[in-house]
Amino acid sequence: MTALSSFAEMHAKIAAGQGFIAALDQSGGSTPKALKGYGIEADAFANDEEMFALIHAMRSRIITAPCFTGEKVIGAILFERTMDGKVDGKPTPEALRERGIVPFIKIDKGLEDEVNGVQLMKPMPDLDVLLTKSKALGVFGTKERSVINSANAAGITAVVAQQFAVAAQVIGHGMMPIIEPEVNIKSETRAECDTLMLGEILKHLDLLPEGQQVMLKLSLPVVPGTFDSLVDHPKVLRVVALSGGFNRPEACAELAKNRGIIASFSRALLEDLRHQMDDAEFNGSLGRAIDEIHAGSVA
């Protein structure tokens, strides 16, 4: 595996890499659920510090697994505490780059209550501080998530506008933003959501200054090929997909129907891993998951 040292090397890896992006960014509210899935119950930790130590140990075990390299995993999205921590005695972003994996950081602070069928991102008053710190640690890009629950044109317009406003701030720090307006796969108007969102994204891409690019992290569309125009767009570095509630076989099957979109899975990557496994079992299970998701991404 080839270590990555410069922004240009990381850009090239994401642009052309034949693999997927691992989402290791469960934060505050979703951490207990992630630990439970990993076989660690809530009575195993007494406070947030102990909880975050356990999730960091899980992520360290994943990152140092023999199969977790830049050959099939081209990027990884980190939670801020994971980025600030160490893996094998090195800052986490450095440990990833040494394995040929491009580090990203989750920057949103969670979701507002639903208005107009969508959930906007909460304010991020300290974003410039976080971006400066992340860039100094050698992090390539960011990810921010909002949610679309129903096909409300005003709501979807607001979500996409907010996403691109934050993306402009990220680009201003010399980093690559992953825009994630997640369409809820349980939405009764999912196909219409896909269409409305696509139209808004294309409008904002046309307004991006020449030479600037973003990445997009989207729910897999109801109609395969819906996002082909985004995959081909010169201002989009890469389109990645979230698993969004599909289990891994379903998510990989849906992914393979869409040309040029690669995975950025979280739960679907981790769903078979358990704290109680010995290293051979753990590495075997993780390796099978990586192989499946890689196959769906390059299909």
Instruction: Determine which of 46-55, 100-109, 199-208, 226-235 has the lowest per-residue pLDDT on average.
Output: 46-55
Mean per-residue pLDDT, 213-228: 97
Catalytic residue among 180, 182, 254, 292: 180
The token pair that represents 33 in the structure block: 């659920």
Q: Cα separation of 54 and 52, whole Å?
A: 5
pLDDT at 153: 98
Under DSSP, the state recorded for 85 is S
Under DSSP, the state recorded for 149 is -
Element (H, E) at 238: strand 236-242
Residue 1 belongs to some domain of the structure = no
Strands 86-87 and 90-91: antiparallel
1 pLDDT higher than 80: no
Overall domain count for the chain: 1
**What CATH number does the domain containing 162 carry?**
3.20.20.70
Catalytic residue among 94, 217, 254, 292: 217
DSSP string, 266-282: SHHHHTT--TTS-HHHH
Mean per-residue pLDDT, 41-60: 92
Mean per-residue pLDDT, 50-66: 94
End-to-end, the C-alpha distance of the chain in Å comes to 22
pLDDT tens readout for residues 224-266: 999 999 999 999 999 999 998 889 999 999 999 999 999 999 9
Nearest one of 294, 266, 200 to 59, comparing CA atoms? 266
Nearest one of 38, 28, 42 to 59, comparing CA atoms? 38
* 41 among known catalytic residues: no
29 pLDDT higher than 90: no
Residue 140 belongs to some domain of the structure = yes
Residue 126 belongs to some domain of the structure = yes
Residue 54 belongs to some domain of the structure = yes
Task: Residue 69: give the domain boundaries.
Answer: 7-298
Tell me the three state secondary structure of residue 157.
Answer: helix
37 pLDDT higher than 70: yes
Mean per-residue pLDDT, 194-208: 98
Residue 193 belongs to some domain of the structure = yes
The token pair that represents 212 in the structure block: 């600037």
Residue 124 belongs to some domain of the structure = yes
275 pLDDT higher than 90: yes
Per 3-state DSSP, what percentage of the chain is helix, strand, and coil (rounded to 5)? 45, 20, 35
* 180 among known catalytic residues: yes
Residue 2 belongs to some domain of the structure = no
List CB contacts of 297: < 8 A, sequence separation 6 or more.
18, 19, 20, 255, 261, 262, 263
Residue bearing tokens 């044109």:
153
Q: Cα separation of 82 and 27, whole Å?
A: 10
Whether the CB-CB separation of 142 and 134 falls below 8 Å is answered with yes
Q: Cα separation of 202 and 215, whole Å?
A: 13
pLDDT at 28: 66
Mean per-residue pLDDT, 17-42: 88
